[in-house]
Amino acid sequence: MDNKITKAHGSGGIFSHNLIKEVFLKYFDNPILNQLRDAALLNQINGKLCFATDSHVIRPLFFPGGDIGKLAVAGTVNDLAVCGAKPLYLSCGFIIEEGFPISDLEKIVASMQKTAQDAGVNIVTGDTKVVEKGNADGIYINTAGVGKIPDNISLAENTITPGDRIIISGTIGDHEAAIICAREEFKITGNISSDCNIVNSLTEKLVKNVPGLRIMRDPTRGGLATILNEFADKQNFGLRIYEDKIPIKNSVRGLCEPMGFDPLYMANEGKIVIIVSNNDADKALAIMKDHKIGKDAKIIGEVIEEPKSRVLLKTQIGSDRILDMLTGEMLPRIC
């Protein structure tokens, strides 16, 4: 096989078949994918399913803490996980620029498979398109995923009650800060690693053991502040978080302050924020702290009666500031 992707790899003909066999099947190998049908035939399922998708256009493709492959699997796995589901199956759609090194594709595919294996999911169906040089930036990856929601689990905003606690599973802003450092245009040398990771083993523990769990989300694009606003939007409660309780790495804070980035709006790729009953808050926190991706978990705030539908930040000097959704844009192509 040539060492670069050519248009023929996207033709549907013999080059496409060879790419599938020599790269995709080599890593993704599983009985469902190996049938190579137009659609994957899944095993019998009885119950409620969850279905999610994410496209990934991150730049650079390889960054401290991860790469586009790890991110593409984690992104969809995490979307399923925070809905309370056990992720089961993933699809993947590659859009590759002509001339892309096949060795880089293999690195990405290997990383996808490792992440999928860690998450306990199989990549069962896929598609590859090749576009002419200049019409994509190396590679874009879409994943979609199917997961099963345990019986009697229903996480939703309308179960949230004043007095409930807000918990974040760790430090915020790490992913976006790592990408800023990795982008050549900023000419910054930093030692910040993305938190890019799957969260489903943690969410599955919470779903199983915390009856007072109201809702979970992964604060990706738009960051913690945007997700909290999504929780509160049009609801009959407000949310308050405390600036001095929010875990932020010194390295991230040191990067953001001079550049004017606000970690509250920066993307995370391996964190969850949950709302849980006051009674179960300590239990949920203990489960997080006991998990390798939740060691820095903190209770950062609570659900309040007023102002309804709003998110407040109690600042370190004690004043309440309204936190809106992200209004402009931060950095493009962070995921």
- List Cβ neighbours of 12 (8 Å cut-off, separation of 6 or more): none
Encode burial over 266-287: b for 16+ CB neighbours within 10 A, e otherwise.
bbbbbbbbbbbbeebbebbbeb
Q: Is 328 an interacting residue with respect to its own copies (CB under 8 A)?
A: yes
Give me 304's structure tokens.
């309040």
Cα-Cα end-to-end distance for the chain: 30
Q: Is 57 an interacting residue with respect to its own copies (CB under 8 A)?
A: yes
Other C-beta atoms lying within 10 Å of the C-beta of residue 139:
21
Q: How far is the CB of 60 from its own copies (least distance, A)?
A: 13
Q: Per CB under 8 A, which region of 199-207, 217-225, 292-300, 311-319 contacts its own copies?
A: 217-225
One residue of 1, 2, 7, 101 binding its own copies per CB under 8 A: 7
Phi, psi dihedral angles at 157 (to 5 degrees): -55, -35
One residue of 4, 25, 30, 53 binding its own copies per CB under 8 A: 53
Q: Is 126 an interacting residue with respect to its own copies (CB under 8 A)?
A: yes
Q: Is 8 an interacting residue with respect to its own copies (CB under 8 A)?
A: yes
Contacts of its own copies in 243-282 (CB under 8 A): 265, 267
One residue of 21, 34, 41, 282 binding its own copies per CB under 8 A: 41
Residue type, 262: D
Q: Per CB under 8 A, which region of 102-110, 198-206, 313-321, 324-332 contacts its own copies?
A: 324-332
Q: How far is the CB of 333 from its own copies (least distance, A)?
A: 6
Q: Is 17 an interacting residue with respect to its own copies (CB under 8 A)?
A: yes
Instruction: Compute the half-sphere exposure of residue 196: CA atoms within 13 Å on the CB side of its CA.
Output: 30
Q: Is 82 an interacting residue with respect to its own copies (CB under 8 A)?
A: yes
Handedness of CA 107, 112, 113, 118 (dihedral sign): positive
Other C-beta atoms lying within 10 Å of the C-beta of residue 119:
25
Asked if 81 contacts 87 with a C-beta cutoff of 8 angstroms, the reply is yes
One residue of 5, 28, 56, 213 binding its own copies per CB under 8 A: 56
Q: Which is nearer to its own copies, 227 or 251 (CB)?
A: 227
Q: Is 329 an interacting residue with respect to its own copies (CB under 8 A)?
A: yes
CA 77 – CA 147 distance, rounded (Å): 8
Q: Per CB under 8 A, which region of 93-101, 239-247, 289-297, 315-323 contacts its own copies?
A: 93-101
Q: Is 134 an interacting residue with respect to its own copies (CB under 8 A)?
A: yes
Q: Per CB under 8 A, which region of 4-12, 187-195, 196-204, 246-254 contacts its own copies?
A: 4-12
Q: How far is the CA of 129 from the CAs of 6, 9, 11, 23, in angstroms?
A: 10, 8, 8, 15
Question: Helix, strand, or coil here: 161?
Answer: coil
Contacts of its own copies in 140-169 (CB under 8 A): 140, 142, 144-147, 149
